[in-house]
Amino acid sequence: MRPRNLLALLVAFPFAAAMALAQDVGQLNWRVTDAERRLALIENSIANLQGQVQTLETRLQSLDARFSQLVNLLDHQRKEDLSARLRLEASLEKIQAALSKPAPKAADDAEPAAPPAK
């Protein structure tokens, strides 16, 4: 090999290596940029999901409060119904007791008094 060719190779090799390295660095930069973009999208999605979770938790708390109100209302209504039922049963018992007693005799129906003494 002639010295000129050798010199050309010695100069060309580092230049080619530098070009290849620059190309590799460029690809790595693009990959890093793409990964950062994807990460930003993922973080944005996570933030959106956290907002939706917050909204759902708020709605769940509201539904829980409404459910508790309904349970309390039903419990109160059940107590009122039970109280009314007990009053009705007591009234029915009084009516049945009154009906089972012999009717008092009226003055007309009473036995005639003894005839007046003479």
Is the C-alpha dihedral spanning 45, 46, 47, 50 positive or negative?
positive
Is the C-alpha dihedral spanning 63, 69, 72, 78 positive or negative?
negative
Whole-angstrom Cα distance, residue 8 to residue 11?
5
For 27-51, the pLDDT digits (tens) are 999 999 999 999 999 999 999 999 9
**Residues of the chain falling short of pLDDT 70:** 1-4, 6-7, 9-10, 103-118
Record the pTM. 0.51
